[in-house]
Every structure is written in C-alpha cells, then in structure tokens.
Chain A
Amino acid sequence: MTRFILRISLLLLLALPARAQDAFTAALPGLAGGFGDIAASVERLGASGDPRALPLLRALQEGRLQKAGDGRILLPDGARLLDAATGQPAEAAGAEAVRLNNRVRQALRGALGRLQLVSPDPAERLAAAEAVFRSRSAENIPLLQAALARETVPRIRTQMELALAASQLVGSDAEAKRDAVARLGASGSVEARAVLIEARNANPEMATAIEVSIATIERALAIRRAAETLFQGLSLGSVLLLAALGLAITFGVMGVINMAHGEFVMLGAYATFVVQEACRGIPWLAPWSLVLSVPAAFLVTAACGALLERGLIRHLYGRPLETLLMTFGVGMILQQAVRLAFGAQNREVLSPPWMQGTILLPGDIAVTQNRLWIIVFGLIVLGLVFAAIRLTRFGLEMRAVVQNRRIAATMGIRTGRVDAMTFAFGSGLAGMAGVALSQIDNVSPNLGTGYIIDSFMVVVFGGVGSLAGTLVGAMSLGVVNKLLEPYAGAVLAKVFVLVAIMLFIQRRPKGLFALKGRAAES
C-alpha cells in the first residue's frame, strides 16, 4: 500500500515543474563537494531548466556562493544569505565560498549558456551561443532549435547555427550530421575546424566529407593568417615607430646620441602608472587615465629632456661620441633612481576596457584591441610630429637652426632655446612611447633598455632626419620580422633583421630616405 502511494506521489512529482524542482534540490548537495561533484551538479542544474538555477549559477560564477559547515548551500541576497534549497534566511557563521576550478568553470559556461540562450540581453545570448558551441552535446539540439526560432539578430543567429551544427555532429541523426559538416565547413572558423577534426576520428564513414570541409576552412584561414601576420608586423612596427620617433628628432635632427632615450621611454611608462594611481579613486575618470597619461608623460619626459639638454648636453655639441658616453651614464642613474623610488618590481598598469580583447575586422581577421590602438596612436603621433615641424613657428625655427645655426641666430632666433625645446620635444615623444609600451610590456626600470638599439636601427635604416624614412623603416622592420618569425623563430628572425640592416647600411650609408644634394654632404 505504502508502495502504491509512493508510486503515485512519484508520478505526481514527475509532472514537469515538480520534477525540475526536485532535480534542482537534488543537485545542490553536490555543490558542497569536491570539484568533480561541483561540476556534475552544475551540469545537472543547467539541464534542469529551473528558474532558480540561473541566479545560483551566476552567484557561483562570481564566487559569491557560500557553503555552510553542514553542507547547505547559501545564496547571497543583498546582505543576507538564503538557504538555496528552502529560500529561507540562514546563519552565515562558518560559511565559506564555493571554490571554482577550470573544470567547474567549463561546466558553468555550458550550463549558463543553456539557461541564457533565451535571455533578453543580446550580449548574453551571443555569449551563451558561443558557450553552447564549446560544450557541444546532443542534448542542446532542441534548446538551440527553439532559440533559433525566436532569434532575429543575424550575428547571434550565425553563432547559434554553428552551435547547432556542432551539437548535431555529436548527435545521432546521420542526415543532420552530413548537413552539419557542410555548414561548419562553410563557416571558415578555427573553432569549427577543431570540431571537425575531432569528429573525423569518431565518424570514419564521413571522413571524406569532413576532409572537404576542413580544406575549405584551411583556405579561408590561409588568407586570414596572412592578414593577421601583416597586422602583427604593423603592430610591432608601430611600437618601433613610437620608440624611434623621439630619436628621429634628437638624433636625426639634432645629431645628439641619447643613450638615455630608453630611460625616457621608461619614465613615460611610470608617468602612466602614477596617473593611473591618481585616478584610481575617481571611478568616472579611471577608464580614461590612459588618455590623461599621454600629455602627462609628454610633459614629464619633455621636462627631463629640457633639463638634460640645458644642464649637460649643450656643453657637448659637436662631440656626438662624448654625448653618447655621457647619456649612457645618465641612463644608469635614471634607471637606479626609478628602481629606488618605485621598487624593482613590475608596476601594474591596467588596460582600460576599450583596449582589452580581440575584435574582428572585416573578413573575420582577428586583431587585438590594444595593438590596434597602438598602431592608431603611433600614426597620430607621427602626424602630430609632422605638423609640429612643418606647420608651427617652433618647427620653422627648429629647421632654421638645424640648417644654419649662425644665420638663424642673426635673424633673432634664440638658438639655445630652440635646442632645448627640440630636445624636450624628442624626449617627450619618448615619454609618449612609454605610455603605449605600458600596455604591452613590463613597467619596470629595465623597460627602455630593450628598445634602444632597435630604435637606433630604425632611424639609421630609414634615413637620418627623415620622418617618412622612420615610418617606412619601422613598419618594414616590423613586418619582415613577423614574416620570418614562424620559420626562423623569434630570436633568429631578429638576428637576421639586424644583419640585413647592417648590410643594407653598407650599401646605402644614408639609409632608405637619404637626404640628397649638397646639404647632405657636409
């Protein structure tokens, strides 16, 4: 009798909502267990479709979910903690956070994906579609089909269709499988390729069709890879350009060999750090601290440059080799001063949100945002330098002093002031390079040393005194380096480039964009 009643109640419980609720409660204890238990529970929660699962899993993802000493799972709700099973407030004493590892995170992504496929937020739906794609499972097919039926945003649709194809590939419907292979092949994405390669071994009967699809993807990827290599080269080139622009002024225009140039770059990076720390307390300003750093770094390093020029370098005009040795000493001092002031450890310079992650250019070419911004920044700085030299009074005076100091002086130009300003300008550019480098490299006292020789090579290769040469030099060195890298490795590529430049300079001692004519002779 009791058995009969039990059966009836079980049947009743099996009615959908009840069954789901039961699955929800049943999955909870696992969350207090080891990582394997947690992952299993998460999967069950994701499959449950229970409305309470979503806030719970989100809390878990954000590390807010607590477990009590007795194994009850506690969900934070404002300041209170609620028992996840009963929804009643619970005692928080002795509770500790449920910890995550990669396995749990992976399960979470799939579970959340399934639950969020119909989320009202398009960004969440897109992320969910990507997550479901990764956690491909035949169980997702109906979910995806339902979601697709309602979806209107093309980009999300594409992603959902991919996810559906990937899920169908591990399903049992042979017809759908064949179709999925073709659709995955047409997508041209790296992830689809991975899915196909994985499926190849599991489905020997479809090997030919899969190979065809993989080959289609490979063709699309080859073009994209070439474009990405080009981008990497331009990105490296823009870093070189930024590092070398200041030298193009101080060395190219004034003929001063400033071995402390790298240290000015480093100072610029530290200025970025200081500005960031100053903005830290002001939430609306914090994401823009990097923008503020640009003028700040320029001013700081320009001031240091002016000081260096007026205090030391001007006594050594006409003796470039002595300047070289002296500025080497200055570089040592600057490095150690920063080390003592800020500590030898790296300093953390955050990337603002708009500089993080990857974006897709037309043609699905993936480029990292920070690199893209640095290329843009490099070109803007180059444009500003060009404008400063060609369009401003200062630029005119600078060119006059460089061409004929004596005559410029007789025309009333204060050549000493122009020298100081020119040097300060070049140093300020180094500081701006430091702002960019703080986004890709260490902010440490040694930051500048890695760039000094490359910068000199860029200036000499491009042609001393030519901004166009510096641009072309930097970009071509960057691209050639990246073209060689996959074959020769990072080190040899660099060695080859260095040797090539040395040989090139033997052929054309004045560089790519040589100043011609009698002026260049003297």
Chain B
Amino acid sequence: MSDEISPPLGQGKAAKPVLYLDGVSVVFDGFRALNNLSLVVDPGELRAIIGPNGAGKTTMMDVITGKTRPTAGVVRFRDHDLTKLDEATIANLGIGRKFQKPTMFDALTVFENLELALKAPRGPFACLRWALTGEARRRIEAVMEEVGLSARAQDRAGVLSHGQRQWLEIGMLLMQDPELLLVDEPVAGMTDQETEHTAALLVRIAGRRSVVVVEHDLEFVRALGSKVTVLCEGSTLSEGSIDHVQNDPRVIEVYLGR
C-alpha cells in the first residue's frame, strides 16, 4: 500500500494523466456494459460525465475502483495497473468514491463516519490503538463545517435527510484526502441552493485534485464549467465543453431518440 501524498499540483496538460482508461470493455453474460471505452483525466482536472441510463457510467466507476474486473483494456492510475488491485488498495492509492445512492454507516454518528474515513493507518491493530488526536479532531470539524453538518455531529447517520446524507458522503470523501474523486450523482435530492453550493465545492476541490462527476442534471454540469464526456452504450460518444456536446448531432440524437 502506498501512503505517499504527492498530488502533482499545478502541472499543465503535458503532465502525465492521473487516470488513463484505454480500450476498456466489460461483458456481463453477453451484454456489453462497456465497449472499448477510453478516458483520460489530467491532474487537477474536473470532468463531468453524462449519458443516458445504461450508458455504462456506473460500470466505469466500478472498473476504476476495482469492484468490477474489465474483460479487456487498460486501466491505470498514475503508474498503477488498477485491474490487478482490490478495492481497499485502490482506495488507499488515493481514489475516493461517492455512490449514486448515498452509502454510509447508519449505526454510527456523523462524527464517527468521518473519523472512519479520515486518512490514517487502516489495519486492525492500528484501529485498535487509534486515539483521536487534536489534529484529527480539527480536520473532522473542519470538514463538518465545510459540508454543513457541524450541528449534527453526534446524530446517527441513519436519521439524516437525503440531502444531508449526500453531504456526509462528500465529507467522507474529503476526509480520505484522495487524489482522484469519483462522484456519482452528488446532487440528487438536493435543493437548488444546496446544488449550487455543491458545484462550488467541487470546483474548489478540483484545483488540488482530479474530480470525475457523473450527473444527469445538465444545469449542474453547466455550473461546473468543466470538460464534458458523453457516454453511450459503453463508449465515448462525444467530448468537449458543455456547449460543444449539447450541439453535437449524435448527442442530440441519442437524447431525443430515446
């Protein structure tokens, strides 16, 4: 496991990409969930991914995080071949993931959820010896502040509203201090104001880390102002600015043709 923390800050396009997918295919029982997909994400980049249902967005995330093994293709994170590693190792390399359906530990409090996500030695003995230092507490409190859950620190995650759960999960991502964030539909169930807040947060994060956001909400994607990749039937259909892809006839056909 690698504990190095060296996000290649501020490097330009010439820098080595953080995430590199080439020719990735995933076949379930004859059904091609991903079909020769390629994707390159640069350090510090914010990337939005859109596409109709079944386009392979979630499968792509599964492949990157080690949940699903690709049938073919290359998946690299920096110098690591992700197809050979398990979820925990990949997470420790510096890839954090937020799920489409917010997933956390309902029996634990907000504070405890964040504490578990906090970057620290992960082995059972280390966990047994773990004591909350002032530094760690400050970091957790800072993140709670950031995601607006300070008042609910001692409440069980199970009693939070849907929006708050989204926030908590984003908070957990931040605690992990990952180099690459994969964020699946972060604003579902949020109010407009919360959505705006989230967009701003993601943009802010993106400077220091790479962020890949999967989202249906085109307004939100527009607010991110980032490069957009359109997936369809497991492959890249179109890539570019939001205006570019919205005017791409193939994209229009896919969205209207449905």
Chain A residues packing against B (C-beta within 8 Å)? 516-518
B29 at the interface (CB under 8 A from A): yes
B28 at the interface (CB under 8 A from A): yes
Besides A518-B28, A518-B31, 6 new A-B residue pairs in contact (Cβ under 8 A), listed by A number: A516-B28, A516-B29, A517-B28, A517-B29, A517-B31, A518-B33
The distance in angstroms between the C-alpha atoms of A516 and B31, with both chains bound, is 11
Provide a sorted-by-A list of 8 A–B residue pairs whose CB atoms are within 8 angstroms.
Answer: A516-B28, A516-B29, A517-B28, A517-B29, A517-B31, A518-B28, A518-B31, A518-B33
Those of B45-103 within 8 Å (CB) of chain A:
none
The distance in angstroms between the C-alpha atoms of A518 and B29, with both chains bound, is 9
Main secondary structure of the interface of A (DSSP, over half): loop
Chain A contacts for B33, CB-based, 8 A: 518
The distance in angstroms between the C-alpha atoms of A128 and B124, with both chains bound, is 79
Q: Smallest CB-CB separation from B27: which chain A residue?
A: A517
Count residues of chain B with CB under 8 A from any CB of chain A: 4
Main secondary structure of the interface of B (DSSP, over half): strand
Chain B contacts for A516, CB-based, 8 A: 28-29
Q: Smallest CB-CB separation from A515: which chain B residue?
A: B29
The distance in angstroms between the C-alpha atoms of A517 and B31, with both chains bound, is 8
The distance in angstroms between the C-alpha atoms of A517 and B29, with both chains bound, is 6
Those of B6-37 within 8 Å (CB) of chain A:
28-29, 31, 33
Chain A contacts for B29, CB-based, 8 A: 516-517
Chain A contacts for B31, CB-based, 8 A: 517-518
Chain B contacts for A518, CB-based, 8 A: 28, 31, 33
CB distance from B183 to the nearest CB of A (A): 21
The distance in angstroms between the C-alpha atoms of A517 and B28, with both chains bound, is 5
CB distance from A350 to the nearest CB of B (A): 51
Q: Smallest CB-CB separation from A516: which chain B residue?
A: B29
Chain A contacts for B28, CB-based, 8 A: 516-518
Chain B contacts for A517, CB-based, 8 A: 28-29, 31
The distance in angstroms between the C-alpha atoms of A387 and B4, with both chains bound, is 60
The distance in angstroms between the C-alpha atoms of A113 and B31, with both chains bound, is 73
The distance in angstroms between the C-alpha atoms of A518 and B54, with both chains bound, is 12
CB distance from B113 to the nearest CB of A (A): 23
The distance in angstroms between the C-alpha atoms of A518 and B31, with both chains bound, is 10
The distance in angstroms between the C-alpha atoms of A518 and B28, with both chains bound, is 7
The distance in angstroms between the C-alpha atoms of A516 and B28, with both chains bound, is 7
CB distance from B56 to the nearest CB of A (A): 12
Complex A-B, nearest 5 residue pairs according to Cβ-Cβ distance, in ascending order? A517-B29, A517-B28, A516-B29, A518-B28, A517-B31
The distance in angstroms between the C-alpha atoms of A224 and B1, with both chains bound, is 60
Q: Smallest CB-CB separation from B62: which chain A residue?
A: A521
The distance in angstroms between the C-alpha atoms of A432 and B39, with both chains bound, is 58
The distance in angstroms between the C-alpha atoms of A518 and B33, with both chains bound, is 10
The distance in angstroms between the C-alpha atoms of A175 and B76, with both chains bound, is 89
Q: Smallest CB-CB separation from B29: which chain A residue?
A: A517
The distance in angstroms between the C-alpha atoms of A516 and B71, with both chains bound, is 15
CB distance from B87 to the nearest CB of A (A): 14
The distance in angstroms between the C-alpha atoms of A345 and B16, with both chains bound, is 80
CB distance from B66 to the nearest CB of A (A): 14
Q: Smallest CB-CB separation from B59: which chain A residue?
A: A518
Those of B94-147 within 8 Å (CB) of chain A:
none
CB distance from A143 to the nearest CB of B (A): 73
Q: Smallest CB-CB separation from B68: which chain A residue?
A: A521
The distance in angstroms between the C-alpha atoms of A516 and B29, with both chains bound, is 6
The distance in angstroms between the C-alpha atoms of A518 and B58, with both chains bound, is 12
CB distance from B114 to the nearest CB of A (A): 28
CB distance from B69 to the nearest CB of A (A): 13
The distance in angstroms between the C-alpha atoms of A517 and B59, with both chains bound, is 12
The distance in angstroms between the C-alpha atoms of A517 and B33, with both chains bound, is 10
CB distance from A424 to the nearest CB of B (A): 32
The distance in angstroms between the C-alpha atoms of A417 and B33, with both chains bound, is 36
The distance in angstroms between the C-alpha atoms of A517 and B27, with both chains bound, is 9
CB distance from A513 to the nearest CB of B (A): 13
The distance in angstroms between the C-alpha atoms of A104 and B31, with both chains bound, is 76
CB distance from A510 to the nearest CB of B (A): 13
CB distance from B54 to the nearest CB of A (A): 10
Q: Smallest CB-CB separation from B31: which chain A residue?
A: A517
CB distance from A499 to the nearest CB of B (A): 27
CB distance from B146 to the nearest CB of A (A): 33
Q: Smallest CB-CB separation from B30: which chain A residue?
A: A517
CB distance from A108 to the nearest CB of B (A): 69
B169-201 contact mask (Cβ, 8 Å, vs A): 1 or 0: 000000000000000000000000000000000
Most A CB contacts (10 A, CB to CB) among B29, B31, B33 go to B29
Q: Smallest CB-CB separation from A517: which chain B residue?
A: B29
CB distance from B60 to the nearest CB of A (A): 14
CB distance from B73 to the nearest CB of A (A): 19
The distance in angstroms between the C-alpha atoms of A518 and B30, with both chains bound, is 11
CB distance from B145 to the nearest CB of A (A): 36
CB distance from B34 to the nearest CB of A (A): 13
CB distance from A69 to the nearest CB of B (A): 87
CB distance from B71 to the nearest CB of A (A): 13
CB distance from B237 to the nearest CB of A (A): 22
CB distance from A509 to the nearest CB of B (A): 15
The distance in angstroms between the C-alpha atoms of A319 and B3, with both chains bound, is 39
The distance in angstroms between the C-alpha atoms of A516 and B33, with both chains bound, is 14
CB distance from A91 to the nearest CB of B (A): 88
CB distance from B35 to the nearest CB of A (A): 16
CB distance from A180 to the nearest CB of B (A): 66
Most A CB contacts (10 A, CB to CB) among B28, B31, B33 go to B28
CB distance from A85 to the nearest CB of B (A): 87
Q: Smallest CB-CB separation from B67: which chain A residue?
A: A521
CB distance from B149 to the nearest CB of A (A): 29
Q: Smallest CB-CB separation from B28: which chain A residue?
A: A517
CB distance from A468 to the nearest CB of B (A): 16
Q: Smallest CB-CB separation from B33: which chain A residue?
A: A518
The distance in angstroms between the C-alpha atoms of A516 and B26, with both chains bound, is 13
CB distance from B31 to the nearest CB of A (A): 7
The distance in angstroms between the C-alpha atoms of A518 and B32, with both chains bound, is 11
CB distance from A514 to the nearest CB of B (A): 11
CB distance from B33 to the nearest CB of A (A): 8
CB distance from A398 to the nearest CB of B (A): 22
CB distance from A447 to the nearest CB of B (A): 41
CB distance from A319 to the nearest CB of B (A): 15
CB distance from B111 to the nearest CB of A (A): 28
CB distance from A261 to the nearest CB of B (A): 31
CB distance from A520 to the nearest CB of B (A): 9
